[in-house]
Amino acid sequence: MTDCIQTKKSNCKNCHKCIRECPVKAIRFQDNQAYILKSECIMCGKCYTACPQNAKVIRDDLQSVRELVKSGVPVYASVAPAFVADFKGVNITELEKALKKLGFAGAAETAIGATVVKDEYQRILRSNDREVVISSCCHSVNTLIQKYYPSALQYLAKVLSPMQAHCTKIKEKHPEAKTVFIGPCIAKKDEADLYPGIVDGVLTFIELKRWMDEEGVTPEPTYEKDDGGRARLFPTTGGILRTMTEKPENYSYFAIDGVENCISALEDIIDGKITKCFIEMSACSGSCVGGPAMNKQSNRPVEEFLAVDRYADSKDFETEPMDSEQLKKNVDYINTKRQMPGEKAIADILKKMGKTKPEDELNCGSCGYNTCREKAVAVYFGKASITMCLPYLIQKVESFSDTIIKNTPNGIMVLSEDLTIQQINSSARRIMNIARVQDVIGEPVVRILDPLPYMQVLSSGVNVHDKRIYLAEYDKYVEETILYDKSYNILISIMRDVTAEEQEKEQKEKMGKNTVEIADKVIEKQMRVVQEIASLLGETTAETKIALTKLKESLSDE
């Protein structure tokens, strides 16, 4: 099956935010694109909700469900109880009417399956043969344990999720039927794929709303509560615990939401710090009402909690129980481990990032990883690149910039808007015979140069390019470019020393003048000789004079 969360390459903007948000760093950054690693992903959807460019997209199963509905086989919808938080004022009766208009044979709440699952949890606790029991409703939590905390698998309740239990009951009642789960969860798509034959399709609330909009179907808000059960509380943090009617006193009970908190609890369980507990775990903050496929544009955790809380009843759904064997679920270890790099390999990668000692490891998190060493490990495994380190890039750019400024033959000077000198390179100091940089930094430019050109650029906003000027106090000719950078509130002066060119030009002019003077004397002498010869020969000297005059003018031009 296609990955449940995919990257839209054209939208991915090299921001690393998905890496920062991913609790297990299941993302490979390659060619300036962030790709989700399916083998490491737990489908929590945090990258999807966090991406500012909508570069992460949920697998679209709408077309396949539409084809299933059109196939002629009766299709029943199992609707997650979080629907009351996303479809304001709509009860299950009205939602079922809308779903029937789309072609479904019927619809009911997944909370019916949750009631069965809750009863099984209570049976497990009564048996008193587990040190710790972790709820198994959240597929992302299950996957987290399978891939990253296999030592805690012994504590995970091997029980079908409410989605699976409800769809199993639907097929018991309608053996020929197909089932589609509709909810706020991305991970349910993966769960349906991994356990085929129970759930035949999964739609998010987002997909369902799009389908309804396309078909012009709108469920009517009635703000009336249907008869139902307390298992409607399942999609809220602590909802499972509030649903349970039996809680053996030899266990403690608490709820944890958010992957980071679940990870912390799992580590404590493995270390033996938590004992004799039933733990309700949800990957999403706020549990399912905070799921990634709820309304992405708004975050109203209190309002969503209250909507579910007020829709729930104080008694259980009336439903036929299922035996433990029927509810049993295989949750096996998924190996994602790779041979970790040695200390030398990590040190070599850190060195390439300009981190040769512990104090160089800023652990700023700009790359998306919590520490520089964690990022180095990701580089080792090909999941990250060295250039993802922002301090490294800044240092590299600054070093490159400093190298250019220090080694360019052009004089460079940076002024603030009040015309104080902020930076000056060695070439500029050489032009103006300034021995030490500290002699001028922070000083007004009037101390070393005429401030008028800089004031004119500031007031007009018009840059000056390659203006040739004579610095009399330094006996230097320069071509100066003055640039005003309004975004940084600075003036940049770039001076090219053209003194040698001017001196060479003056030398050529002097030589040309001397040549003309010599030519003039030669011409005068030759004209006297010609005149004497012409008078002897009785010829006019007019034509000869014109020719010689042109020769003189030609030499003068040169």
- Residue 502 forms part of a structural domain: no
Of residues 196 and 508, more confidently modeled: 196
Distances (CA, A) of 126 to 36, 121, 161: 41, 9, 20
Measured distance CA(243)–CA(7) in Å, rounded: 38
Structure tokens at 449: 């140069």
In terms of DSSP bridges, do strands 277-282 and 132-134 run parallel, antiparallel, or are they unpaired? parallel
User: Last residue of some domain: 466, 497, 528?
Assistant: 497
- Residue 31 forms part of a structural domain: yes
Residue 48 pLDDT > 70, yes or no? yes
Question: Tens digit of pLDDT for each residue in 331-387?
Answer: 999 998 788 899 999 999 998 888 888 888 888 888 889 899 999 999 999 998 887
- What per-residue confidence (pLDDT) applies to 225? 85
Measured distance CA(346)–CA(308) in Å, rounded: 49
- Residue 505 forms part of a structural domain: no
CA 534 to chain centre: 96
User: Last residue of some domain: 353, 386, 407?
Assistant: 407
Of residues 518 and 211, more confidently modeled: 211
- What per-residue confidence (pLDDT) applies to 543? 62
Residue 402 pLDDT > 90, yes or no? no
- Same structural domain for residues 401 and 414? no
Cβ(419)–Cβ(454) under 8 Å?
yes
Question: Tens digit of pLDDT for each residue in 231-279?
Answer: 999 999 999 999 999 999 999 999 999 999 999 999 999 999 999 999 9
- Same structural domain for residues 16 and 117? no
Cβ(331)–Cβ(159) under 8 Å?
no
- Same structural domain for residues 300 and 383? no
Distances (CA, A) of 100 to 74, 81, 157, 177, 182: 11, 18, 35, 15, 14
- Residue 333 forms part of a structural domain: no
- Same structural domain for residues 23 and 83? no
Q: What is the mean pLDDT of residues 140-166?
A: 97
Q: What is the torsion angle, in degrees rounded to the nearest 10, for the CA atoms of residue 170, residue 171, residue 173 and residue 177?
A: 100
- Same structural domain for residues 171 and 87? yes
Residue 166 pLDDT > 90, yes or no? yes
Handedness of CA 125, 129, 134, 137 (dihedral sign): negative
Measured distance CA(467)–CA(481) in Å, rounded: 7
With vertex at residue 315, the alpha carbon angle to CA 310 and CA 318, rounded to the nearest 5 degrees, is 120
Cβ(278)–Cβ(251) under 8 Å?
yes
Q: What is the mean pLDDT of residues 161-189?
A: 97
Measured distance CA(257)–CA(277) in Å, rounded: 16
- What per-residue confidence (pLDDT) applies to 530? 67
CATH code of 472's domain: 3.30.450.20
- Residue 503 forms part of a structural domain: no
Of residues 115 and 404, more confidently modeled: 115
Q: Domain count of the chain? A: 5
- What per-residue confidence (pLDDT) applies to 305? 92
- Same structural domain for residues 487 and 422? yes
DSSP state letters, 326-350: HHB----------PPPPHHHHHHHH
- Same structural domain for residues 414 and 403? no
Q: What is the mean pLDDT of residues 155-184?
A: 97
- Same structural domain for residues 485 and 442? yes
- Same structural domain for residues 199 and 273? yes
Measured distance CA(358)–CA(5) in Å, rounded: 37
CA atoms lying within 13 Å on the CB side of residue 348? 7
User: Last residue of some domain: 59, 85, 101?
Assistant: 59
Least confident residue range of 244-258, 463-477, 508-522: 508-522
Measured distance CA(255)–CA(272) in Å, rounded: 18
Cβ(143)–Cβ(42) under 8 Å?
yes
Give me the phi and psi of 36, to 5 degrees please.
-80, 135
- What per-residue confidence (pLDDT) applies to 362? 85
H or E element in which residue 108 lies: strand 106-109
Query: pLDDT band at 299, cuts 50/70/90?
Result: low
CATH code of 293's domain: 3.40.950.10
Residue 526 pLDDT > 80, yes or no? no
Rounded to the nearest 5 percent, the helix, strand and coil shares of the chain are 45, 15, 40
- Same structural domain for residues 171 and 112? yes
- What per-residue confidence (pLDDT) applies to 1? 64
- Residue 30 forms part of a structural domain: yes
Structure tokens at 401: 């910039």
- Same structural domain for residues 80 and 180? yes
The span from the first CA to the last CA of the chain, in angstroms, equals 84
CATH code of 399's domain: 1.10.15
Of residues 71 and 537, more confidently modeled: 71
- What per-residue confidence (pLDDT) applies to 554? 62
Cβ(350)–Cβ(373) under 8 Å?
yes
Q: Which of 446, 448, 397 is nearest to 418 (CA)?
A: 446
Q: What is the torsion angle, in degrees rounded to the nearest 10, for the CA atoms of residue 134, residue 140, residue 142 and residue 148?
A: -110
Q: Which domain holds residue 487?
A: 410-497
CATH code of 22's domain: 3.30.70.20
Measured distance CA(424)–CA(421) in Å, rounded: 7
Measured distance CA(171)–CA(199) in Å, rounded: 10
- Same structural domain for residues 195 and 293? yes
Question: Tens digit of pLDDT for each residue in 55-85?
Answer: 999 999 999 999 999 999 999 999 999 999 9
Q: What is the mean pLDDT of residues 163-190?
A: 97
Question: Tens digit of pLDDT for each residue in 111-126?
Answer: 999 999 999 999 999 9
- What per-residue confidence (pLDDT) applies to 228? 83
- What per-residue confidence (pLDDT) applies to 555? 54
CA 159 to chain centre: 36
- What per-residue confidence (pLDDT) applies to 354? 82
Full-model pTM = 0.74
CB atoms within 10 A of CB 415: 24
Give me the phi and psi of 507, to 5 degrees please.
-65, -40
